[in-house]
Copies of this chain bind each other. A is one copy, B any other.
Amino acid sequence: MTRRRTQDERSAETRRLLLEATIQSLMEVGYANTSTAGIARRAGVSRGAQTHHYPGKMDLIVAATGEMFANFADGLESLAAELREGRLDLDGFFEAAWDNVLKGDWFYSSLEIIVAARGDKELRRQLAPLILDLHEKFEATWSRSFVAAEPGTVSARVAMNLVMNVFRGMAVQAVLRRDERYFREMLDALKAVIAVHVRPAP
């Protein structure tokens, strides 16, 4: 018998289960195969409870996206913190960041959502502020953690955004072609190309 819980505790737990199940479902079967019923089943929550907390599918998606983006920004910031504290060098940072992208749940889940948003104006409207916030957090992390190695050519901020875009592109490619050697080659080249322009902040 579970002990008595407050309404807030019950709500928070149910919502947490639902958002986790949403992210997991997006990761495992993709947006196209993600249904509200399936999410409720994964979460071990009745469909009624799901509709109570998140009346529409979009509410579920938007809330889960907020969760994912926050986790993503936190993960990257904590990696950058290790860099600033000297417990990670530039190479190590790139490796760890790429590993996070490819192995973590968040990247492909958010990719599914972004692609879905392309065909859904309302979803796009609701996600726009979230992505803007995410980018601001990124840029804050970059400017805290990196400086330009050659002032005047490419700023650390822009260079790191380039790196993130390479990761995004490679991750998309990895869906159909998971070629370990190819990615190794790319990653090493990326490090060589970018290291010229970026240094860890002093």
Residues in A lying within 8 Å of B, measured CB to CB: 28-33, 108, 111-112, 114-120, 124, 127-128, 131-132, 135, 153-155, 158-159, 161-162, 164-170, 172-173, 175-177, 185-186, 189-190, 192-194, 196-197
| Interface residues of A, dominant DSSP | helix
Nearest B-chain residue to A28, judged by Cβ: B119
CB contacts (< 8 Å) of A135 on chain B: these are: 177
Nearest-CB residue, chain B, relative to A168: B169
Residue from B119, B154, B164, B173 within 8 A of A33 (CB atoms): B119
Beyond A111-B172, A161-B186, A162-B193, 19 additional pairs, beta carbon < 8 A: A29-B119, A32-B32, A33-B119, A112-B115, A115-B172, A115-B175, A117-B176, A118-B175, A124-B176, A131-B176, A132-B177, A154-B189, A159-B193, A162-B166, A165-B170, A167-B169, A168-B169, A193-B194, A193-B196
